[in-house]
Structure 1
Amino acid sequence: MNLAQPSADIELRLWRQFLAVAETLHFGRAAAQLHMTQPPLTQAIQQLERRLGVPLFERTRRSVVLTPAGAAIVEPARQLLAQAAALAVQARSAASGETGRIRLGFVSTVGFGPLPGWLRAFREAHPGIAVELREATGDVQYEAFAQRELDAGFVLHAPSIEPPPPLQRLSLGVEPLLLAVPDAGPQRRSTAQWLREPLVIFPRSIAPSLYDAVLAFYHRHGVTPAIAQEAIQMQTIVNLVSAGLGVALVPRAMQQLQRPGITYRALPAGLADGAPRAETSLVWLPDAAAAVRRFVEFVRAQGLRGA
């Protein structure tokens, strides 16, 4: 047999025809299974052998036998056809949001709040969707969105602040900030005394709207805060307060983080009016995959049940 150089670009049709002959060892019966006549099947097998560069069958008038090369590729051919058949199912599952991957960013305050429970419930409801978590501040998340490295994310900001376009937003609620104070030192203080305590706060770059809301609150009371220390993560801020470096205004979810030497309390009555508030939002890209949209609707439902 004059065999050409092998080619990897072989249609599934040829593998299906090869497998039919390999399993029946009879060209006539294989042709009947494939709903075709025998001559085109014989030509197809010859074409496959030319493209592979090896004979696959030994043929006589009375028998058809697989060559060693033919026998070696029967099982791989079965696997190839099974994988090809599964592609359509996988594509439909991904298109409907039943399977897929979500690259999810989150700020630490959500991690101390509802996120762990939501992730458990979502995984139970949608086991075919993998969620890859990335803890990051809002500014880092927005940069990751711009680089198409995130699909969705939980961010913290001042109320009603929209994310940079083209991101879409689902509000998960607004809450007043609590005062985190060290246990050491007097707890009964006047409004003026609380405002003049050193302030531990996050850098403006990570949440500009919330940082500005905190400083505007101080300015409304005629005080320029003495910033003792800046820290990126809320848990670090809480730890610095517990060490006595100052006080901090933190989201209510941080009450879950208990540390020796710290107390969370509502702002004193004299400070409560016009106190800064924080809003948590889920943001995502408008062209997100179906799995991401399914997650958004799941979170939306959780928020409605919690309202």
Structure 2
Amino acid sequence: MDVRRLRHFVAVAETLHFGRAAELLHMTQPPLSQSIRALERELGTALFVRTKRSVALTPFAAQWLDPVRAALAAIDALPDTAERIRRGETGRLNLAFVSTADYSLLPDLVQRFRMLYPKVDLALTEATSDIQIAALLRCEVQAGIMIPPANAALPEELVYRRLMSEPLIAAVPEQWLDSGRLELTDGRLSPEAVVASPLVVFPRHVAPSFHDLVTTYYLDSGGPADIAQQAIQMQTIISLVSAGLGIALVPESLRHLARTGTCYVPLQRRPPYLDTGIVWRRDDTSPLLANLLEILPGDDAAR
């Protein structure tokens, strides 16, 4: 449908005078009348009741006027909408994240992004690193905050940038400390106490780099890990610790996850560090993604 004819219709409908409407449209009256008649033929119904002294809307035109106004307003807004899309100020950004990020950089990131880009729909999905990589390759998410693979390189289609590195600490059952089953040395958990304690940890197939970081620390501390229980959610791991099933080595930021029955203590032996970074598709040139990457912290170049 010719947008010019729709504008002509609205002008006449609002003035109820072909002459004044023509002046507002900067045209003469005959072409305006021809345009209205053409629109009426296209619609198959009359829009105006004309007499020598007056012009009135038909019942059809009275009902059609508001939808036409709304359509024209949407058309007039298209250039601004296009500019906001070009600048990444509107649209939908799908971001996945590992559960550990929920207690470190994710809350601040979400708050800053939504403050800077309130019209963007930031869709968050919690997922383990392996699931994130598969989702990125299928273009189901645009970026993922994850723990990078330790030994296996990421697919060449993806780019990784480290965002933070933090030491592991021990989450221990409070009842073990109260009963004397677990003793601290200068407020820290000794290597001997670590090795002697059953471990609650992520399954290796879900988080291989994190799993290996923890079990290697056990080996370097004097013995293999006695894995008592495995869980795929950090909240579940901490709940199992509070129930007395074992200890867990977790990122220091997990101190923010307060749970009755669980205490967080530093490790006496030099702790391992866990990297967390962001991964995205190399060919993704979306301004939405560019805006996200711009506000992210980072201590490592993209690779």
Under a length normalisation based on structure 2, what TM-score does the superposition of the two structures give? 0.84
Q: Match of 1:43?
A: 34
Q: How many residues align?
A: 290
Paired residue for 2:9, among 18, 36, 48?
A: 18
Q: Match of 1:293?
A: 290
Q: 1:161 to 1:176 in 2, by over 3 A?
A: farther
Question: Using the alignment, how far apart are the partners of 2:152 and 2:255 within structure 1?
Answer: 24
Q: Match of 1:179?
A: 170
Q: Match of 2:44?
A: 53
Q: 1:300 to 1:117 in 2, by over 3 A?
A: closer
Q: 1:296 to 1:218 in 2, by over 3 A?
A: same
Question: Using the alignment, how far apart are the partners of 2:141 and 2:124 within structure 1?
Answer: 10
Counterpart residue type for residue 239 of structure 1: S
Report the CA distance between 1:117 and its aligned residue.
Answer: 3.0
Q: Match of 1:278?
A: 274
Q: Match of 1:209?
A: 209
Counterpart residue type for residue 293 of structure 1: A
Is 2:161 aligned against 1:170?
Answer: yes
Q: Match of 2:198?
A: 198
Kept in 2: contact 1:158–1:278 (CA 8 A)? no
Q: 1:225 to 1:17 in 2, by over 3 A?
A: same
Report the CA distance between 1:124 and its aligned residue.
Answer: 2.5
What whole-Å deviation, never above 9, does each CA across 1:88-118 have from its counterpart, x for those lacking one? 2112112112223222222222212232233
CA RMSD across the alignment: 2.7
Q: Match of 2:138?
A: 147
Greater alpha carbon shift after TM alignment, 49-58 vs 162-171: 162-171
**Percent of matched pairs sharing the same residue:** 44
Residues 67-78 of structure 1 aligned to structure 2 (within 5 Å): 67-78=58-69
Counterpart residue type for residue 275 of structure 2: E
Q: 1:247 to 1:58 in 2, by over 3 A?
A: same
Is there any run of 5+ residues in structure 2 with no aligned partner, and where? none
Q: Match of 1:5?
A: none
Report the CA distance between 1:49 and its aligned residue.
Answer: 0.7
Q: Match of 1:90?
A: 81
Report the CA distance between 1:208 and its aligned residue.
Answer: 1.7
Q: Match of 1:255?
A: 255
Under a length normalisation based on structure 1, what TM-score does the superposition of the two structures give? 0.83
Kept in 2: contact 1:169–1:281 (CA 8 A)? yes
Question: Using the alignment, how far apart are the partners of 1:149 and 1:28 within structure 2?
Answer: 56
Is there any run of 5+ residues in structure 1 with no aligned partner, and where? 1-9
Q: Match of 1:3?
A: none
Report the CA distance between 1:242 and its aligned residue.
Answer: 2.3
